[in-house]
């Protein structure tokens, strides 16, 4: 019998979320961000389920290759852009677009031989200070792109927000999004081309940033990083359910300690449930005692240190529980954002961290298995 831990990917929920995001930004086209194996949900299944997206966004060329293996028409854009001349050649041949974020990439384009044009997205650093061309260099980089024979004449202008999850305008982070928006508008004023700014949090909370293309990632998967507002509060549906089962139930005496390093001491004689899930599956090792897990659909607290393959639950509120009873680590009823907050991280980091030994099963009206 297989180990009971499984990640279920609900493609109907995925399409529901995509439709909800489109409805929030009705005049914008939607680039579905599917980097990092679609935030850990499985790139191939997600791309098939979102075949009606206007484009797919990935971080790396390797991810664009995987998309082109299954889908040859939807635009794909690589956020890191080309790193060498081979990348440029492959992208042009496969109609994969490139984010140009550094003047150093221009030489690659200017030296490229004749061939199909490369769709370029010029990324402007409006204050995040990660990737992007400084505002004062944008005009010259744009002019060189426009003059480059290898580049498609329609250059998209884009930027990325550092803190769109913060919505209180009285805080430094809350004020940041409007500052970045202003810098962007001043920088691109008068330049031709469509515009793209909004990640998930901006789609949900900053309508003035929607522009021509939205680029949601986390919200497609039902997650939100907007300050203490989990995805379901926006009507988003969890796309991943991480489910397991009790492997064993045992009675421990008051004063006994549970798991590695004996982190948690039983306050009384009590039942403890052992679940098939651990950090070897991607469940955070740092999850503190008391964090909720759903057993038979109802929350019970985790106790002791999460180990590689197992974790323990306090069964005092469900003393009748037995081996085989269903356990949900996150999903409907327990938003991954909530779970992540208990571990001091965000939902994205949890779904991305689900390891290869966890089987993924696709459900939904189009499910093709896998
Ligand atoms: C990852 C990414 C996004 C999507 O961000 P979410 O917060 O997941 O919506 C959008 N744009 C760029 C450039 C990204 O790298």
Q: Which residues are catalytic?
A: 35, 260
The beta-strand segments (E) located in the chain are 6-10, 29-33, 55-58, 76-78, 96-100, 120-123, 156-158, 195-196, 213-214, 240-252, 257-258, 264-265, 270-276, 292-295, 298-303, 310-314, 326-330, 360-363
Ligand 1 mean position to 275 CA, how many Å? 34
Atom of ligand 1 nearest to the CA of 131: 13
User: Is the pLDDT higher at 368 or at 295?
Assistant: 295
CB contact at 8 A, 138 and 173? no
Query: In this predicted model, what pLDDT tens digit does every residue of 70-90 receive, in sequence order?
Result: 987 899 999 999 999 999 999
Q: How far is CA 347 from the centre of its chain?
A: 8
Q: How many CA atoms lie within 13 A of 249 on its CB side?
A: 18
Percent of the chain residues past pLDDT 70, beyond the cut: 99
HSE at residue 25, side-chain half, CA atoms within 13 A, is 29
Q: Say if residues 53 and 18 touch (Cβ distance below 8 Å).
A: yes
Q: Say how many Å lie between the CA of residue 347 and the centre of ligand 1.
A: 14
Say if CB 21 and CB 220 are below 8 A apart.
yes
Q: Which residues contact 231 (CB under 8 A, 6 or more apart)?
A: 219, 222, 223, 224, 237, 238, 335, 337, 347
Q: Which of 37, 133, 160, 195 to mutate to test the pocket of ligand 1 (most atoms within 8 A of CB)?
A: 160
Alpha carbon of 323 to ligand 1 centroid (Å): 41
What phi and psi values does residue 326 have, to the nearest 5 degrees?
Answer: -75, 140
Pocket residue to mutate for ligand 1, from 199, 218, 225, 234, most atoms within 8 A of Cβ: 199
* Ligand 1 atom showing the smallest separation from residue 123 Cα: 13
Instruction: Determine the residue of 79, 80, 98, 336 to mutate for testing ligand 1's pocket, defined as the one with the most ligand atoms within 8 A of the Cβ atom.
Output: 79
Distance CA 44, CA 369 (A): 11
pLDDT of residue 368: 55
Name the residue at shortest CA distance from atom 13 of ligand 1.
160
List phi, psi (to 5°) of 11.
-75, -25
Which has the closest alpha carbon to 354: 257, 232, 221?
A: 221
How large is the average pLDDT for residues 163-167?
92
Pocket of ligand 1 (CB under 6 A): 33, 35, 79, 160, 199-200, 215-219
Confidence of residue 367 (pLDDT cuts 50, 70, 90): low
**In the structure encoding, which two tokens stand for residue 175, read together?**
């004020």
- Report which ligand 1 atom has the smallest distance to the Cα of 216: 9
pLDDT tens per residue across span 105-152: 999 999 999 999 999 999 999 999 999 999 999 999 999 999 999 999
Evaluated on CA atoms 29, 94, 112, 60, the torsion sign reads: positive
* Prediction pTM value: 0.95
Nearest atom (ligand 1) to Cα of 59: 15
pLDDT in tens, 218-250: 999 999 878 778 888 999 999 999 999 999 999
- pLDDT at position 230: 85
Q: If you take atom 8 of ligand 1, which residue's CA is the nearest one?
A: 217
Residue 369 pLDDT > 50: no
Q: Residue 143: in which H helix or E strand, if any? A: helix 138-147
């Amino acid at each position: 019998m297989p180990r009971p831990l499984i990640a279920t990917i609900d493609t109907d929920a995925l399409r529901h979320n995509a439709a909800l995001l489109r409805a929030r930004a009705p005049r914008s086209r939607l680039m579905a961000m599917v980097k990092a194996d679609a935030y850990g949900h499985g790139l191939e299944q997600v791309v098939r389920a979102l075949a009606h997206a206007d484009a797919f966004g990935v971080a790396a060329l390797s991810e664009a290759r995987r998309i082109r293996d299954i889908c040859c028409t939807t635009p794909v854009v690589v956020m890191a852009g080309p790193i060498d001349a081979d990348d440029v050649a492959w992208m042009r041949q496969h109609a994969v677009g490139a984010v140009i974020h550094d003047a150093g990439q221009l030489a690659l384009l200017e030296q490229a031989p004749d061939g199909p044009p490369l769709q370029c997205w010029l990324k402007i650093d409006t204050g995040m200070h990660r990737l992007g061309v400084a505002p004062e260099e944008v005009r010259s980089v744009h002019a060189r792109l426009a003059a480059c024979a290898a580049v498609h004449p329609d250059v998209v202008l884009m930027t990325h927000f550092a803190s769109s999850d913060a919505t209180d305008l009285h805080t430094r982070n809350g004020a940041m999004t409007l500052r970045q928006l202003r810098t962007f508008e001043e920088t691109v004023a008068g330049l031709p081309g469509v515009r793209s700014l909004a990640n998930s949090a901006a789609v949900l909370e900053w309508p003035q940033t929607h522009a021509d293309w939205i680029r949601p990632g986390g919200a497609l998967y039902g997650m939100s990083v907007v300050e203490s507002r989990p995805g379901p509060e926006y009507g988003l549906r969890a796309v991943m359910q991480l489910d397991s089962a009790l492997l064993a139930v045992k009675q421990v005496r008051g004063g006994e300690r549970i798991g590695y390093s004996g982190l948690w001491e039983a306050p009384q004689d009590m039942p403890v449930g052992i679940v098939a899930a651990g950090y070897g599956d991607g469940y955070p090792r740092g999850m503190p005692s008391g964090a909720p897990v759903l057993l038979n659909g109802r929350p019970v607290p985790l106790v002791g240190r999460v180990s590689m393959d197992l974790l323990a639950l306090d069964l005092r509120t469900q003393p009748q529980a037995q081996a085989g009873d269903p356990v949900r680590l996150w999903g409907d009823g327990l938003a991954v954002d909530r779970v992540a907050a208990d571990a001091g991280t965000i939902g994205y980091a949890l779904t991305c961290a689900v390891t290869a030994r966890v089987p993924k099963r696709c459900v939904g009206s189009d499910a093709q298995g896998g």
